[in-house]
Structure 1
């Protein structure tokens, strides 16, 4: 993150990739605020995108009643705010997803509890 200061502000970053078991990945579900912000979790760069969807996301978002209704073939994906189409058989690294990357997904037809965005 860029820092603006009125005087020199030099410091060693405390959240570099070497300080975690794997690169951190931020994952957010658009239009579903029951879980108020994106999750941040260490995800190995060798993990296939399909493993993230089928293995990690249920543990993060499975408590939401809409999660079981997701049609993953219709999900819309964003990486750092830009639309992208993931290949479920490629690794996170092959997608260019690295330390502190942000991915978000939108699920057309599902906008939270009874359309409330929660």
Structure 2
């Protein structure tokens, strides 16, 4: 949503990258209403994308019964709403992910508990 200011204002942002232990990355799982919004995680920019999948996402989403059924080779990724093809061998930064970026993933064939989002 756009903001219209009534008069000019200038101030330093309070959520700049340097104010966090690592750049923030928002990650959401499409079609899974158990998670109402993307999770916001501080992740090092040099972390390989494969480590995000193997080491980070299980800690965030594995309690959902669909998580164990994910075929990661078929996952569809989105960055800021646009299709995105991450290279698992490259870092988050090398995949073009920076502070406060939003990525979402869709798992074809998995649409929530008992297909609740189908």
* TM-score range for the pair, normalised by the shorter chain length: over 0.9
Q: Which runs of 4+ in 1 moved over 6 A?
A: none
Give the CA deviation at 1:111: 0.3
Q: Which residue of 2 aligns with 1:72?
A: 72
Q: Residues 37-93 of structure 1, C-alpha deviation per residue, up to 9 Å, x if partnerless?
A: 000010100000000001000111111111111000000001111111111110001
Matches within 5 A, 1:7-22: 7-22=7-22
Q: Which residue of 2 aligns with 1:48?
A: 48
Matched positions, count:
118
Greater displacement, 80-89 / 102-111? 80-89
Give the CA deviation at 1:2: 5.7
CA distance in 2, matches of 1:35, 1:79: 18
SS of 1:95 mapped into structure 2: coil
Q: Which residue of 1 aligns with 2:110?
A: 110
Cα root mean square deviation, aligned: 1.6
CA distance in 2, matches of 1:65, 1:74: 18
Q: Which residue of 1 aligns with 2:32?
A: 32
Structure 2 unaligned residues grouped into runs of 5+: none
Please report the TM-score for the alignment, with normalisation by the length of structure 2: 0.94
SS of 1:93 mapped into structure 2: coil
